[in-house]
Amino acid sequence: MTVIKTRINRRSFLKVSSAGSAGLMISFSWLASCTPGTKTLEIPEEWYDLNAYIKIGNNGVVTLFSPNPEIGQNVKTSMPMIIAEELDVDWKQVIVEQATLNTDKFDRQLAGGSQSIRHGWDGLRMAGATARRMLMEAAAKRWQVSVDGLTAEKGIITNPAIGDQLGYGDVALDASNLEVPEEVELKEIKDFQLIGKRVKNVDAKKIVTGQPLFGIDYAGDEATKVAMIVHPPAFGMKLKSMNDDEVKAMPGIHEVVRINTSLEEPQWSDTNAFNELVAVVGTTTWEVMKAKQALQLEWEADGSLENTTDHEFAMKDSMEQMEGHVAREDGDVSKAFAEADEIVERTYTAPFLAHNTMEPMNFYANVSADKAELVGPIQTPENLRESASKLLGIPEANITVDMTRMGGGFGRRLYGHFGLEAAAISQAIQGPVKLVYTREDDMTQGTYRPAYRVTYRAGLDKEKNLVAFEAKGTGIPGSPLFANRFPAGTVDYYKVTNYWVNTNISTGAWRAPRSNFTAGAEQAFLDEVAEAAGKDPIDFRLELFDRAIKNPVGEKNDYDPERYAGVLRAVREQANWGENKPGVYRGVAAYYCHNSYVAQVMDVVKDGDNLPKIQKIWCAVDCGIVVNLEGAINQVEGGMIDGIGHALYSQMTFENGTPQQNNFDGYRLIRNQEAQMDIDVHFVKNDKHPTGLGEPSLPPVIGALANALYQATGRRFYEQPFALEYEKVQMG
Amino acid sequence: MATFTLTVNKKKHTVDVDPDTPILWVLRDHLKLVGTKFGCGKALCGACTIHANGSAIRSCTLPVSAASSLELTTIEGLSEKGDHPVQKAWLEHDVPQCGYCQAGQIMSAASLLASNPSPSDEDIATAMNGNICRCGTYTRINAAIKTAAKNS
Ligand code: FES
Ligand code: FES
């Protein structure tokens, strides 16, 4: 039995706050509460707060607050599952509500880096276990017996001595008045009843019936105006002059305002394309959209106007002509290459990518003289509150931020400028406003995934052993390489050098930052090295891991080689690697990022002169304990399809600073027809601390894809998007 | 501005709007039926899919002036209790991730099954190709359509 202290952190989050937060929650409960499954629960007459995460009704119905923002990574189901497990309550009796931003009660209310589960695990278990203990103590008092003899299961407390039972609802009031115990016992992992099961998305019923849930669905009351922004057409431009006379006279248009969201000391999450914008405010979306088109705006250059073709040269030049920063060097690498019997050197590139969450950026703001109410889809609500406070000159204590379900995040909603813009517009017009981006607004002022370029070199000795490895990376801006990740630690002579190209195009985190490129490039390169060494690609990698297990090079190796090798062995078995199926071509890849290990085998088949078709993917994952098996599989599947789609089809290019793609005609995303494949996901079973799944399956699949395509076509793929590279080759 | 009478989910509604207003915005802004989603505004993503006389159409490009004679159905009206075979299959397969594209996916799938009760993989791919899912739930969407076909 694990015993943990309940007061490990300063923020004693298990304290019950006095009045509770009910007031605000009620005002927009349409986007908060949800009952699992399809059954509607009877709402109790009274609720009793056990702690910040749990309230229990007099009839035994339990509300669990999900602290972190939901972007589709399914934490609104999996985080409450962890509480419910330790609370020992029947999942059918649970209502899940999205918690509001409350830094006194909750830690790290952020969605990013696949970290919600990993960071939340201990606190969520503690919240459940503590409440369970308090309910049992309340029952013991009622029966005037010692708590030690009692048991609790599925919301029922039993006194085995006399066979009496009390429901959680019967003792919730008493329990809520008890002192929080100093320490509580947690369940043994083997005793988990709910964790590890397939549990359905708690919002699914609302999603499939079209209930209001998302930020774009929230528009406050009738007084709320619709706002849209106009931003410069190109990076490196700004507004010179504006004529809004005609627009102001258009039906349904109230105001045209210029806003400026610059902050004296911006934080990382304030990254954005443009601070100075024009906002059109009106009654309905369509009227505002039309007015936007009619605005007469003149723009002027304010910096360099960049081009994709120049970017390609700039990246190459940076690696050839700049000094670079050596991030790691083990042994004398130039000497090792000079002595190598054979050298393989390859260069990989990838373009800028837009996030393209299906729900465009939007936010609701209601700012008055001394307070502000912000509601919308945001991955970083705490940062938004801090920046809004600075921008509006209103203390943080007077600003509320409520998180809606998000129609995708992928890193885009880490950067809350649209929340600030809504706040600025609301302050300017002195009333509530709903800011909505068009797809074009969204795609052409992104926080794009940077463009990247990496050159790898591998040196083999006479016996075809890998003896030297070098990677040089650059990007616009910055290198995608991780110096201490595999294959660091497996080769005696190893070096990583990073370069940089400046840009005025705004960039940021995009699902599995840097890994989303590096994994594919590195895994494709290793495939070529294995081939040069005359080795099976899985055996080749396993030999390297063996070296890292038995006799690692250097001390700072950022992975566990046993777990890495573990997923490779698992996928080898799963896919029956080595089996020869006529007409089927296979590629393999493995990667570790965001604390989880993933290996994949992909099968492709030829399709005439077209790019080969993906038939099946096997995927082995080690993310420690799996919390929700259903959600976990869904994340892994989606991550792979997302990775494949972007590697094959997507790119954002620029001409004179102007994004060349602005909607889904120019910008290609993977569609149903291209995603007709079988996927088989396997989780390595262990009792390790759970880690996230929102990102880790995406990066390696690009390597598996490149390697399978090579087997089928005899061509290596070096430039993303691969479908375009293939087309160029086909056309000669 | 002009007055239009529309039939949405079997109910008549009268709205006073600009004749070129897309049905999508009439639904969302005027009728407060926000289940139909805005994704691209150009008939490129399928998020706004509804039924017009039972067939899937993109409501973002259908002007209100052309809709008076049509029986429109939105996700809110697909079934009374959320138990259309497609909705049930979506729950059974736990299809949604972020969920934003799903109303459109469901409306496209329901219209496909209405005209083709046992679609092949190819039929499904063709009918569903206009609906983008950025979260990549396509394999679940397709499995759910098969289940719905079996159960309807
Ligand atoms: S919003 Fe209509 S198809 Fe995208
Ligand atoms: S579920 Fe997120 S876009 Fe489809």
User: Which residues 38-77 of B have a C-beta within 8 angstroms of A?
Assistant: 38-42, 44-45, 47, 74-76
Which pLDDT belongs to residue A39?
56
In percent, the amount of chain B with pLDDT more than 70 equals 100
In A407-430, which positions are buried (b, 16+ CB within 10 angstroms) versus exposed (e)? bbbbbbbbbbbbbbbbbbbbbbbe
Smallest CA-to-CA distance from A572 within A539, A597, A527, A535 is with A539
Task: For residue B132, name the pLDDT band (cuts at 50, 70, 90).
Answer: very high
Nearest residue, CB atoms, B136 vs list A359, A631, A675:
A675
Report CB contact under 8 Å: A669, B132.
yes
Report CB contact under 8 Å: A669, B134.
yes
Report CB contact under 8 Å: B87, A436.
no
Q: What is the pLDDT of residues A559-569, one digit of tens each?
A: 999 999 999 99
Q: What is the pLDDT of residues B56-76, one digit of tens each?
A: 999 999 999 999 999 999 999
Lowest mean pLDDT across A1-10, A95-104, A317-326 = A1-10
Distance (Å, whole) CA A178 – CA A606: 68
Asked if residue B100 has its Cβ within 6 Å of ligand 1, the reply is: no
Decide if pLDDT at A193 tops 90.
yes
Nearest residue, CB atoms, A407 vs list B44, B91, B100:
B100
Which pLDDT belongs to residue A7?
52
Residue of A nearest to B137 (CA): A638
* Cβ contact A703:A524 at 8 Å: yes
How close is the Cα of B36 to the center of ligand 1, in Å?
A: 10
Decide if pLDDT at B23 tops 90.
yes
Asked if residue B64 has its Cβ within 6 Å of ligand 1, the reply is: no
Asked if residue B138 has its Cβ within 6 Å of ligand 2, the reply is: no
DSSP B27: I
Write the CB contacts of B80 (distance below 8 Å, at least 6 apart in sequence). Answer: none
Same fold flag, B2-78 and B85-151? no
Pairing of the two strands A433-436 and A225-230: parallel
B126 vs A contacts (CB less than 8 Å): 673
Smallest CA-to-CA distance from A585 within A535, A537, A634 is with A537
Whether the CB of B133 is below 8 Å from some CB of chain A: the reply is: yes
Asked if residue B99 has its Cβ within 6 Å of ligand 2, the reply is: yes
Which pLDDT belongs to residue A166?
97
Which pLDDT belongs to residue A4?
65
Taking CB atoms and an 8 Å cut-off, how many pairs form between chains A and B? Answer: 194
A30 vs B contacts (CB less than 8 Å): none
DSSP A16: P
User: Which residues 350-379 of A have a C-beta within 8 angstroms of B?
Assistant: 356-360
Atom number in ligand 1 closest to CA B48: 2
User: Which residues 208-247 of A have a C-beta within 8 angstroms of B?
Assistant: 208-214, 216-217, 226
The residue ranges of DSSP E strands in A200-303, in sequence order, are 225-230, 237-243, 253-260, 276-282, 296-301
Asked if residue B48 has its Cβ within 6 Å of ligand 1, the reply is: yes
How close is the Cα of A231 to the center of ligand 2, in Å?
A: 27
Asked if residue B134 has its Cβ within 6 Å of ligand 2, the reply is: yes
Task: For residue A105, name the pLDDT band (cuts at 50, 70, 90).
Answer: confident
How close is the Cα of A563 to the center of ligand 2, in Å?
A: 31
Which pLDDT belongs to residue A420?
98
User: A114 versus A150: which is more confidently predicted?
Assistant: A150
CA distance A629 to chain B (A): 11
Give mean pLDDT, residues A625-630.
96
A201 vs B contacts (CB less than 8 Å): 94, 96, 99
* Cβ contact A405:B99 at 8 Å: yes
Fold of B85-151: DNA polymerase; domain 1 (1.10.150)
Smallest CA-to-CA distance from A494 within A505, A504, A483 is with A483
Which pLDDT belongs to residue A732?
76
Asked if residue B58 has its Cβ within 6 Å of ligand 1, the reply is: yes
How close is the Cα of A173 to the center of ligand 2, in Å?
A: 41
Decide if pLDDT at A21 tops 50.
no
* Cβ contact A650:A589 at 8 Å: no
Residue nearest to atom 3 of ligand 1 (CA): B43
Give mean pLDDT, residues A336-359.
98
Smallest CA-to-CA distance from A202 within A31, A88, A413, A52 is with A31
Residue nearest to atom 4 of ligand 2 (CA): B133
Map residue A167 onto helix, strand or coil.
Answer: strand
Amino acid identity of A487? P
Closest ligand to Cα A203:
2
Nearest residue, CB atoms, B91 vs list A208, A290, A671:
A208
Q: Which domains, ranges and CATH numbers included, belong to chain A?
A: 2-195 (3.30.365.10), 215-303+361-436 (3.30.365.10), 322-353+448-730 (3.30.365.10)
Task: Tokens for A127, please give them.
Answer: 């919240």
Asked if residue B28 has its Cβ within 6 Å of ligand 1, the reply is: no
User: Which residues 86-105 of B have a C-beta within 8 angstroms of A?
Assistant: 87, 90-91, 94-103
Domain spanning B2-78, CATH architecture: Roll (3.10)
Decide if pLDDT at A543 tops 70.
yes
Decide if pLDDT at B26 tops 50.
yes
Nearest residue, CB atoms, B102 vs list A207, A635, A676:
A207
Atom number in ligand 2 closest to CA A358: 3
A285 vs B contacts (CB less than 8 Å): 25, 28-29, 38
Q: What is the pLDDT of residues A199-257, one digit of tens each?
A: 999 999 999 999 999 999 999 999 999 999 999 999 999 999 999 999 999 999 999 99
Whether the CB of B140 is below 8 Å from some CB of chain A: the reply is: yes
Distance (Å, whole) CA A518 – CA A101: 35
Give mean pLDDT, residues A62-72.
91
DSSP output for A576-619: TTT---TTEEEEEEEEEETTEEEEEEEEEEEETTEEEEEEEEEE
Closest ligand to Cα B100:
2
How close is the Cα of B48 to the center of ligand 1, in Å?
A: 5
Give mean pLDDT, residues A24-40.
44
Nearest residue, CB atoms, B139 vs list A217, A289, A677:
A677
Mean pLDDT of chain A: 93
Distance (Å, whole) CA A677 – CA A202: 27
* Cβ contact A324:A472 at 8 Å: yes
How close is the Cα of A571 to the center of ligand 2, in Å?
A: 27
pTM reported for the whole predicted model: 0.95
Report CB contact under 8 Å: A638, B97.
yes
Give the residue extent of every domain in chain B.
2-78, 85-151
Q: Is A666 exposed, middle or buried (0-12, 13-18, 19+ CB in 10 A)?
A: middle
Give mean pLDDT, residues A122-134.
95
